[in-house]
């Protein structure tokens, strides 16, 4: 196991309240990410740091590039298309309620968008995980979720990984790529006590799972279910991570300033920044949404 620091760059010192959901957009070589509680989607050129922002009609939990143009976004009441004409809702989540919001999401290898919900008060079991199968077709796949978080799929497309943060685990499911069906939930990794809450994740070409640790100021890499690497970060609350760049060898990390006291802000001046590091391994290219 490798434990230590790598060079970490600040791409954008955004001060995001709740930065989340980074995804590389292969269409124009930009990183797309969200600030959930500011209701904004950011598109960042990592070479210059120049960032364009798109306001959304409500809090935005996650986005993914859409093959037909623009992005699919998980907003408070369901799934929307944005940045392709006027924002428009394409699927309502029947269980949507004022006390719930989307928190994280990702596109699967077949082009379906998945996103999960949580309660603003983080009440136990109030959220769920949904799969967008097409316009008007959002199916609840997992219920009783507390803080729906990271998603990822293995390179052979046979396994889906998922995080519900308070469980302190990375769970694995058998995944059927043709239908999007999942089965046989089991614990793939149980995180050590005191390292922080498992948040967003991404997967590299060797099958390593990189997990951002909320409150832990670090990212862990797990390989074959075992802790393989610890990367220390200059932010207390990293929220998610994604590989990008021309060769997918750059790891981008979002972070948050949410719930920081004044003393915490002074001790954590980079909170809310978008960071980049080069861990010496490539990630898997992201999929784009084809079902919307």
Provide the annotated active-site residues: 199
215: left (phi over 0), alpha (psi -120 to 50) or beta: left
Cα first-last separation, the chain? 42
Residues 6+ apart with CB under 8 A from 37: 17, 18, 59, 258
Q: Write down how long the chain is.
A: 292
Report the relative pairing of strands 100-107 and 113-119 from DSSP bridges. Answer: antiparallel
> Contact, 115 vs 62, CB < 8 A?
yes
> Contact, 203 vs 283, CB < 8 A?
yes
As beta bridge partners, residue 78 has 75, 92
Q: Which of 190, 241, 189 is closest to 214 using CA atoms?
A: 241
Q: Which of 252, 150, 221 is closest to 4 using CA atoms?
A: 221
> Contact, 252 vs 31, CB < 8 A?
yes
In terms of Cβ atoms closer than 10 Å to its own Cβ (0-12, 13-18, 19+), residue 292 is buried
């Amino acid at each position: 196991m490798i434990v230590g620091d790598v060079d970490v760059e600040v791409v954008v010192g955004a001060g995001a309240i709740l930065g989340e959901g980074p995804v590389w957009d292969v269409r124009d070589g930009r990183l797309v990410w969200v600030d959930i509680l500011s209701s904004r989607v950011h598109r960042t050129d990592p070479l210059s740091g120049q960032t364009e922002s798109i306001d959304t009609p409500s809090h935005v939990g996650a986005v993914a590039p859409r093959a037909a143009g623009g992005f699919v976004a998980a907003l408070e009441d369901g799934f929307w298309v944005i940045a392709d004409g006027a924002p428009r809702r394409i699927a309502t989540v029947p269980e949507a309620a004022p006390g719930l919001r989307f928190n994280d999401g990702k596109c699967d290898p077949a082009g379906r968008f998945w996103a999960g919900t949580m309660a603003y008060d983080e009440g136990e079991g109030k959220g769920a995980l949904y799969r967008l199968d097409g316009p008007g077709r959002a199916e609840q796949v997992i219920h009783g979720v507390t803080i729906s978080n990271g998603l990822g799929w293995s390179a052979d497309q046979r396994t889906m990984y998922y995080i519900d943060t308070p469980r302190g685990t990375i769970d694995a499911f058998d995944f059927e790529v043709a239908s999007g069906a999942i089965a046989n939930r089991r614990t793939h990794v149980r995180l050590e006590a005191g390292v922080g809450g498992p948040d967003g994740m991404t997967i590299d070409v060797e099958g390593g799972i990189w997990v951002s640790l909320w409150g832990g100021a670090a990212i862990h890499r797990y390989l074959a279910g075992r802790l393989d690497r610890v990367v220390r970060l200059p932010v207390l609350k990293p929220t998610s991570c994604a590989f990008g760049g021309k060769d997918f060898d750059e790891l981008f990390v979002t972070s948050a300033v949410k719930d920081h006291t004044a003393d915490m802000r002074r001790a954590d001046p980079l909170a809310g920044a978008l960071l980049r590091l080069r861990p010496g391994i490539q990630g898997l290219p992201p999929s784009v949404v084809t079902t919307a």
